[in-house]
């Protein structure tokens, strides 16, 4: 994955920027990693007796694959709702540094906080990686709808994987269903080097997601367009 080359872009409408982000998802290998991951999650949900609508709703509301695995397995084994909610929340806290690093790149001086709620919710590892790779060539006034398009696109990929996995659950070997859950961390290990080409100060390996690599020099300020 090569870093984008800055180019002069026409200012697009919000809908056009959203569609540009949505289309960018399907040109990313991460979209198909997400589909495979959610095939495994949907198969797990069906094996534990959850309905398809429940599996799809949990994807929209939780939007974090490890947290969904915790949610499904805890509820299926009779876990207390409060303890389950706490475990899901703690698991999803890893996304907070990603949200904090992404929002300054998309907001403008007079951006209303309400418009940042959706991109904050949609920020997952896949969205964060693609946003950091693509945003440097996107005009700042187009970035919020662009990131929303990325998030909705990846969520559609997850829902497609949920549909496939739910109806194929009976025919998938158990080891394959379990192995699909590890697609995301394995792919992140491979993408770590690629994202360093965009910003050498970042490391997306699963154990250091969103935290700066202290051994690497900071990225030049010229890599990020001014507000």
Domain boundaries, the chain: 14-219
The per-residue pLDDT string of the chain (227 residues; one tens digit each, 9 = 90 and over) reads: 555 544 444 457 789 999 999 999 999 999 999 998 899 899 889 889 999 999 999 999 999 988 999 999 999 999 899 999 999 999 999 999 999 999 999 998 889 999 999 999 999 999 999 999 999 999 999 999 999 999 999 999 999 999 998 888 767 666 676 666 666 565 555 555 455 554 555 544 444 443 344 344 444 434 444 44
pTM of the shown model: 0.76
Question: Which residues are within 8 A (CB) of 181 and not within 5 positions of it... i.e. 6 or more apart?
Answer: 37, 40, 41, 44, 65, 69
C-alpha dihedral (59, 94, 140, 153), degrees to nearest 10: -20
Token pair for 40: 């495994």
The single residue listed with the structure tokens 């990929």 is 157
Q: How far apart are CA 11 and CA 43, in angstroms?
A: 43
Looking at the DSSP bridge assignments, the partners of residue 202 are 212
């Amino acid at each position: 994955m090569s870093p984008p080359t800055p180019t002069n872009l026409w200012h697009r409408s919000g809908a056009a920027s959203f569609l540009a982000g949505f289309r960018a998802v399907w040109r990313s290998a991460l979209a198909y990693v997400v589909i495979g991951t959610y095939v495994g999650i949907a198969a797990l949900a069906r094996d534990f007796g959850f309905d398809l609508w429940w599996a799809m709703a949990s994807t929209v509301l939780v939007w974090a694959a490890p947290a969904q695995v915790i949610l499904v397995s805890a509820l299926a084994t009779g876990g207390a709702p409060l303890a389950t909610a706490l475990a899901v929340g703690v698991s999803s806290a890893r996304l907070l540094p990603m949200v904090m690093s992404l929002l300054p790149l998309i907001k403008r001086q007079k951006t209303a906080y309400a418009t940042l709620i959706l991109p904050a919710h949609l920020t997952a590892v896949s969205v964060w990686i693609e946003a950091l790779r693509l945003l440097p060539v996107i005009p700042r006034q187009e970035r919020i709808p662009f990131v929303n398009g990325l998030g909705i696109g990846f969520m559609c990929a997850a829902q497609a994987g949920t549909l496939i996995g739910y109806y194929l659950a009976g025919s998938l070997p158990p080891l394959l269903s379990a192995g699909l859950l590890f697609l995301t961390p394995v792919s992140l290990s491979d993408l770590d080097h690629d994202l360093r080409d965009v910003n050498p100060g970042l490391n997306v390996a699963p154990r250091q997601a969103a935290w700066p690599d202290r051994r690497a020099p900071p990225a030049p300020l010229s890599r990020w367009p001014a507000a």
